[in-house]
């Protein structure tokens, strides 16, 4: 026999679909921002900056849907946790979009710069970070804790790379003042990637909460400064 909350179930599924769409969208922004940086592609960088408005609209749309469901459906237990999770995740995704825009803006500044050697660590950081965002979203879709653990593990690698990049670029700045603008912007990019990784960890933690009802910080090294 069908249970009496079919309509609400459909609304919850639609909310999850919207979150996924937004997740896929900001993931695309991140990938393109990093590509624009590595390939010094100004057109692509500008395109990423323009996409920010869409991400912001998706965020507002998801938040208002959550508020409507809270007001009209009085969700409890898992339903309540799904909506609470959606409210938190959408903010994380919106921030990931913002940082992607910041990376695209750095790409615009660095479009004419000459890299002494092709970038290696920052693209690797970006690769991990993209994988983290994807992993967190997959964990959300499939309620898959293994994906969540993979995200947490990758965060440590991103943090380690961030320290390496920071030291390397500091060294370059010490060597010559000509390197300062480029190196400073790349440090910022590394910082944005490190922050995006933290937001991916937030999303992962929320999936754990949504499923178990237990709120806890999964990544021991996870700083939320």
Other CB atoms within a 10 A radius of the CB of residue 109 amount to 15
* Min CB(218)–other proteins separation in Å: 14
End-to-end CA distance of the chain: 50
- Total of residues contacting other proteins (CB under 8 A): 17
50 close to 171: Cβ distance less than 8 angstroms: no
- Residue in 59, 69, 71 with CA at minimum distance from that of residue 11: 69
Q: Output 8 or 166, the one with its CB closest to other proteins.
A: 8
Quickly tell me which residue has 């995006």 as its tokens: 196
* Min CB(79)–other proteins separation in Å: 5
Distance CA 29, CA 98 (A): 9
Applying CB under 8 A, among 17, 53, 57, 74 the residue interacting with other proteins is 74
Say whether residue 87 binds other proteins (CB under 8 A).
Answer: no
Say whether residue 212 binds other proteins (CB under 8 A).
Answer: yes
Say whether residue 2 binds other proteins (CB under 8 A).
Answer: yes
* Span from 17-25, 136-144, 163-171, 206-214 in contact with other proteins (CB under 8 A): 206-214
Say whether residue 77 binds other proteins (CB under 8 A).
Answer: yes
209 vs 19, 96, 139, CA distance in Å? Answer: 17, 21, 12
Say whether residue 146 binds other proteins (CB under 8 A).
Answer: no
Quickly tell me which residue has 């959300």 as its tokens: 140
Q: Output 120 or 212, the one with its CB closest to other proteins.
A: 212
Residues lying near other proteins in the complex (CB under 8 A): 1-5, 8, 74-81, 212-214
């Amino acid at each position: 026999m069908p249970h009496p909350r079919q309509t609400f179930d459909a609304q919850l599924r639609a909310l999850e679909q919207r979150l996924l769409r937004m997740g896929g969208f900001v993931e695309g922004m991140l990938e393109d921002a990093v590509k624009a940086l590595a390939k010094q592609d100004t057109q692509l960088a500008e395109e990423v900056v323009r996409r920010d408005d869409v991400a912001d609209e998706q965020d507002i749309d998801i938040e208002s849907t959550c508020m409507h469901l809270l007001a009209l459906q009085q969700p409890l237990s898992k339903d309540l946790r799904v909506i609470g999770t959606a409210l938190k995740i959408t903010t994380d995704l919106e921030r990931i979009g913002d940082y992607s825009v910041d990376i695209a803006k750095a790409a615009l500044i660095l479009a004419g710069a000459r890299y002494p050697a092709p970038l290696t660590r920052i693209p690797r950081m970006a690769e991990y970070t993209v994988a983290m965002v994807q992993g967190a979203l997959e964990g959300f879709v499939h309620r898959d804790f293994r994906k969540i653990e993979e995200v947490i593990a990758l965060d440590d690698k991103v943090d380690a790379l961030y320290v390496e990049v920071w030291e390397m670029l500091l060294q370059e700045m010490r060597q010559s003042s000509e390197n300062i603008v480029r190196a400073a912007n790349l440090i910022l990019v590394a910082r944005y990637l490190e922050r995006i990784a933290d937001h991916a960890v937030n999303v992962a933690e929320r999936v754990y909460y949504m499923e178990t009802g237990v709120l806890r910080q999964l990544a021991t090294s996870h700083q939320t400064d």
